[in-house]
Amino acid sequence: MNLLSFFKLLLPLTIVFTLNGKVIEGFSEYRFSDNESIILAKKRCKELAKRDMVEKFATYIASETTIEYGVVEKDDIVARSMGIVRDLKILDERIDRVNSVIYYKLQGDIDEKEVMKFLKESNGKSVTSSKIKDFILSAIKAEKDLRIGDALRYYYWSLLLLKNDPKLNSKMKYEELDKRLLSIVLPERIKNIFSSLDYRVEEINRDKNGKTIVLSITYKNTPVSGIDFKYYTGDGWSSLVKARNGLASAELYGVAANTIKKLSISTEYKYENRIKFDPDVKRGLEKGSHIPFSMGKFKVKLAQKKVKKEVKAKPVSTIKSPKIEKDITAINPDPHIAVVKKVVKALKNRRYNNIRNLFTPSGFENFSDLLLYGNGKPLLNNAELKSITIGKGTKGEYTVVRSLPMSFSFPKSGSRFIEKVNFIFSSEEKNRIDAISFSLSDVAIKDIMKKPERFGTKEGKYQIVQFMEYYKTAYSLKDIDYIESIFADNALIIVGKILKEGSDDMSEMYGRVGNDQVKYIKMSKSNYISHLKKVFDSNEFVNISFEENSVKKVNGKKVYGIQIKQNYYSQNYSDKGYLFLMMDLNNVSEPKIYVRSWQPQKNEDGSIMGLEDFRMGG
């Protein structure tokens, strides 16, 4: 955000100054939880009041001064001003213990000349340097999580911004990268990733039209969590292919299916289609040009059989977590797996009537929706399936056969996805398939399952996994009825840039959202569902994937808050952001979402909306 935009946001605030423009006042009202001590709550309230006065001071500077090239991060302005507030006095202090509210009004003195000196010295560079650092941190974390596509993108975008600022390019270093010149270390990082990537043929499946090549993709001999690439089809480059959990597919038709002996692959690292969502990178790109990395191109020899070593299920089971991952991926040959293998055979032969008896009516309807979603095809002939039992529901004991890798393609947009598909069986339905879902990533599952026992039982953790998988599947299959059923009628749904406080009908469920969160828009359930219907109707497909999740539990209740990074793709639009759900799993068969928020980026302090922003009633 540029300085002018920042100041415009703050203009509605009341400004209190003496004639010399140095003495400033600020106030804050803070609602504290039952778990907070009065001392801690007072400290937080004072900090918010101090921040309020500093933001008013920034508004005053903007109205009186023009700063050449004045593009400065809000955090830089506030942090510098917060550090030079002197002679802080408490003008008013009130504590309402009945309603759990603290109020402070403060007064302090600030050196205007010192802040102005800092703003002029910044001269717009803090935005670029801060953005570069943020991208580098994101790249490091993505590389660690095997999200290699994201790692390449963030390293490359950092380099792009750096090259377009000659002064930063010649001197900028960063402690997270050994304090070496970024102009040297960033290209090294990108090249090192490419040198550690390996594309291999896992299977080649032929039919009368051509052949499908199943690829396994590893980084340092470990299946990648996510990466994007294009391949040469014989008469041009394919659309972007999204690999997940170490698997992807390429299809060749006609003459190309018989003549191409080596598959040419170009790994995506520029992500030009996503640059438009980041104005800083877009501005940087307009000043310069892309930087080529030829190491991102690969030639993969096509063999008629599986090549060299047979990976089988390794690309599916990517997590090397000992006990936890064994719990959820243990191989238990049983009748449920035998049923799924019959379904796989029918999918390959495109003959579905003979397997209708393997499903409940609702299960077959779910299966039909899956068939309509992108021409689904099983990827591997011998996929290693996993069976787990997750406890009882309204239809008896539930067993899940997990992780059948399937590819889905959409001809209008040319998009293609890989999803791992789960089959849910009910014992009271004669062990027939009662539902189908898309799996969470192995990383997301691990993050939930590694929670300590005090967080919940193993069964309880599985229920969270299953709910999030149902949620993901409902959006992908455009199941508006299910989505409508899981949102409470009085659900608080927050999207956009300005946060409104909850309406009166939410008062028994929530405390007030923090006063400092003012960048979101509240929607009613009916408005949100109506909006979703329009989105679903206007798009050939919708696909979402999750990563970086954190789950918390409300003490003594099966109410959970999950914060998770969401990647959203559709025919007409794509974005990434941070999703928060407050969900009630007391009745597993009828889960409810009480809060859903989405934000395009983290808050200024690195946080995202979570349970701490709401107070349970009762």
In tens, the pLDDT along 415-471 reads 888 899 999 998 887 789 999 999 988 878 888 888 887 788 888 888 899 999 999
What is the average pLDDT across 64-70?
A: 44
- Top pLDDT among 339 and 370 is at 339
Q: Choose the most confident range, by mean pLDDT, from 406-420, 446-460, 469-483, 493-507.
A: 469-483
pLDDT at 152 (0 to 100): 97
Residue ranges of alpha helices (H) inside 430-543 are: 442-449, 458-476, 480-486, 525-537
CA gap 303, 77 in Å, rounded: 60
HEC states along 148-198?
HHHHHHHHHHHHHHHHCCHHHHHHCECHHHCCCEHHHHHHHHHHHHHHHEE
What is the average pLDDT across 199-212?
A: 91
Cβ atoms 303, 150 nearer than 8 A: no
Q: Choose the most confident range, by mean pLDDT, from 30-34, 167-171, 222-226, 262-266.
A: 262-266
Q: Which of 370, 373, 187, 160 is nearest to 294 (CA)?
A: 187
Listing from the earlier edge strand, what are the strands of the sheet with 487-495?
Answer: 521-523, 487-495, 592-599, 574-584, 559-570, 542-553
Cβ atoms 520, 597 nearer than 8 A: yes
Token digits of residue 338: 């035998």
Q: Is 388 helix (H, G, I), strand (E, B) or coil?
A: strand
pLDDT at 64 (0 to 100): 54
> How high does pLDDT run on average in the chain?
79
User: In which residue are the tokens 């508006």 written?
Assistant: 480
Question: Which fold, 316-439?
Answer: Nuclear Transport Factor 2; Chain: A, (3.10.450)
- Assign 565 a pLDDT band (cuts: 50, 70, 90): confident
- Cβ-proximal residues to 483 (8 Å cutoff; 6+ apart), any chain: 474, 475, 529, 532
> What's the pLDDT tens digit per position in 290-334?
789 999 999 999 985 443 443 443 333 333 333 433 444 444 457
Rounded to whole angstroms, what are the CA distances from 74 to 55, 572, 603? 9, 32, 12
Q: Is 114 helix (H, G, I), strand (E, B) or coil?
A: helix
- Top pLDDT among 66 and 11 is at 66
Question: Which fold, 3-123?
Answer: Thiol Ester Dehydrase; Chain A (3.10.129)
- Assign 602 a pLDDT band (cuts: 50, 70, 90): confident
CA gap 222, 202 in Å, rounded: 15
Q: Which of 481, 459, 467, 239 is nearest to 366 (CA)?
A: 481
pLDDT over 50 at 66, yes or no:
no
pLDDT at 437 (0 to 100): 94
Q: Which of 28, 46, 41, 119 is nearest to 78 (CA)?
A: 119
pLDDT over 70 at 242, yes or no:
yes
Cβ atoms 84, 111 nearer than 8 A: yes
Helix H or strand E segment including 346:
helix 335-349
> What's the pLDDT tens digit per position in 75-98?
555 666 666 777 888 999 999 888
Would you give the DSSP letter of residue 237? B
pLDDT over 60 at 254, yes or no:
yes
CATH tag, 195-301: 2.60.40
pTM over 0.85: no
DSSP for 475-515, please give it.
HHTT-HHHHHHHEEEEEEEEESS-PPPPPGGGTTT--PPPT
Which residue type sits at 158?
Answer: S
What is the average pLDDT across 585-603?
A: 86
Give me the percent of the chain exceeding a pLDDT of 90. 35
Give the residues across from 522 on adjacent strands.
Answer: 494
Which residue type sits at 144?
Answer: K
pLDDT over 60 at 241, yes or no:
yes
Strands 559-570 and 542-553: antiparallel
Token digits of residue 63: 């109205």
pLDDT at 376 (0 to 100): 85
> What's the pLDDT tens digit per position in 158-170?
998 888 877 788 8
pLDDT at 294 (0 to 100): 94
The domain ranges of the chain are 3-123, 195-301, 316-439, 456-618
What is the average pLDDT across 165-184?
A: 83
pLDDT over 50 at 259, yes or no:
yes
Residue 448: how many other CB atoms lie within 10 Å: 23
At the second CATH level, the architecture of 456-618 is Roll (3.10)
Cβ atoms 224, 242 nearer than 8 A: no
Token digits of residue 158: 């950092």
Rounded to whole angstroms, what are the CA distances from 478 to 372, 472, 540, 589, 611? 11, 10, 10, 20, 28
Q: Is 472 helix (H, G, I), strand (E, B) or coil?
A: helix
DSSP for 411-441, please give it.
TTTTEEEEEEEEEEEEGGGTTEEEEEEEPPP
Q: At what angle do helices 38-64 and 112-122 cross, to 10 degrees?
A: 70
Question: Is there a shared CATH topology between the 316-439 domain and the 456-618 domain?
Answer: yes
pLDDT at 609 (0 to 100): 86
pLDDT over 50 at 221, yes or no:
yes
Token digits of residue 486: 């899981």
